[in-house]
Amino acid sequence: MTWLVQMLLPVAGRRKTYDAITRELTDRFGGATAYARAPAAGLWKDSGRTERDDIIVVEVMVDAVDPQWWRAFRRRLEKRLRQKEIVVRAHEIRQL
């Protein structure tokens, strides 16, 4: 079974930080992809206000998902990027 783990990260001019995150994931999992050229616009409601953030998607393919490791990694990303919450999600995939 193969999994695709995606992280939705705020853009906000942090190119060196994203390069470091992608290198860390590559060192651990053997590769990572960052979709950084055309940021996506994210909207959400927070306390009745509409918030907006431009995001990039960083993803990695893994054979198994270790939820404990990914939760700790997400918390480190939130602290490093000064975010209240970062979305890290995993999807089971079948390679064709």
Q: pLDDT of 57-73, one tens digit each? A: 999 999 999 999 999 99
- Please name the fold of domain 2-93: Alpha-Beta Plaits (3.30.70)
pTM: 0.85
**Which H helix or E strand runs over 71?**
helix 67-80
Rounded Cα gap, residues 78 and 87, in angstroms = 10
Return the bridge partners of 88, or none. Answer: 7
Using a CB cutoff of 8 Å and minimum separation of 24, what contacts does 67-74 make?
70/5, 74/7
Domain boundaries, the chain: 2-93
Average pLDDT over residues 83-96: 92
| 15-68: pLDDT as tens digits | 788 889 999 999 999 999 998 776 777 777 788 888 777 889 999 999 999 999
User: Residue 5: its pLDDT value, please?
Assistant: 98
